[in-house]
């Protein structure tokens, strides 16, 4: 049998002080807390030249379709995507990597390509960087992101669609230690990002800003 990949090491996230953090949380599962139009308008202004309007619509619509299919708040997931990728402007989010949320990105580098895990060559550094690349946003990257959130939210899937999406996501990167450990976005604090003590609160604040568009 193929050995399971080693647990994902902590991915350190610089964390400046957060002023006036929200005093409420947000569940991962449930109805969307915003609209596709709000998400797209937010990105039109911030994605720069990395993605054109058609590309943005494709990504947002994929989150809507796959999020609705499994009962996940896809608007909150998009806020996490935008937080993680600097609104699709980060190196990892750009084509051909299309990583939506730092999946498998640990900060580790290597002069030679390791024989384990997922690694990507970066010309600017002349190094291999650990992290997952996706061939397409729809369905690959989006389902991998939403399925990973489902795995954090649910120790056991409640529907066949949830099971399929979790299995799909964890085929890219396993999640052995935190299954069912985060039913809300702040439950990801110290898990999705480390130290990440205000990780979920920052995403909630971003989501609330997106809802004003």
* pLDDT (tens digit per residue) in 93-135: 999 999 999 999 999 999 999 999 999 999 999 999 999 999 9
The residues near 98 (Cβ < 8 Å, ≥ 6 apart) are: 133, 134, 135, 136, 137, 140, 141
**Taking Cα atoms as reference points, which of 121, 134, 155, 2 lies closest to residue 59?**
134
Matching residue, tokens 């350190």:
12
| Euclidean distance between CA atoms 64 and 75, whole angstroms | 8
* pLDDT for res 6: 42
Q: How confident is the model at residue 22 (pLDDT cuts 50, 70, 90)?
A: confident
* pLDDT for res 53: 93
Q: According to DSSP H, which parts of the chain are helical?
A: 36-46, 53-70, 74-85, 142-153, 160-172, 199-210
Q: How confident is the model at residue 19 (pLDDT cuts 50, 70, 90)?
A: low
* pLDDT for res 2: 43
- The pLDDT tens digits for 58-87 are 999 999 999 999 999 999 999 999 999 999
| Euclidean distance between CA atoms 171 and 4, whole angstroms | 10
- The pLDDT tens digits for 151-173 are 999 999 999 999 999 999 999 99
Average pLDDT of the chain?
A: 92
Measured in residues, the chain has a length of 213
* pLDDT for res 17: 65
| Euclidean distance between CA atoms 204 and 84, whole angstroms | 13
């Amino acid at each position: 049998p193929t050995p399971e990949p080693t647990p994902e090491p902590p991915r350190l996230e610089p964390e400046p002080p957060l002023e006036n953090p929200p005093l409420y949380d947000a569940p991962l599962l449930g109805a969307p807390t915003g609209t596709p139009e709000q998400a797209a308008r937010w990105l039109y202004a911030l994605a720069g030249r990395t993605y054109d309007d058609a590309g943005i619509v494709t990504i947002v619509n994929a989150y809507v379709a796959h999020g609705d299919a499994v009962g996940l708040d896809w608007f909150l997931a998009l806020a996490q995507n935008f937080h993680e990728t600097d609104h699709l402007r980060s190196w990892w989010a750009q084509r051909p990597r299309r990583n939506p949320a730092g999946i498998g990105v640990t900060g580790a580098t290597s002069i030679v390509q390791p024989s384990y895990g997922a690694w990507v060559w970066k010309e600017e550094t002349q190094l291999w960087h650990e992290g997952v690349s996706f061939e397409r946003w729809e369905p690959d990257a989006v389902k991998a992101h939403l399925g990973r959130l489902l795995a954090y939210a649910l120790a056991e899937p409640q529907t066949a669609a949830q099971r399929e999406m979790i299995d799909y996501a964890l085929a890219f990167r396993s999640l052995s230690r935190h299954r069912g450990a985060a039913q809300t976005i702040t439950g990801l604090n110290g898990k999705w990002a480390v130290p990440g003590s205000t990780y979920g609160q920052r995403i909630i604040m971003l989501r609330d800003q997106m809802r004003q568009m």
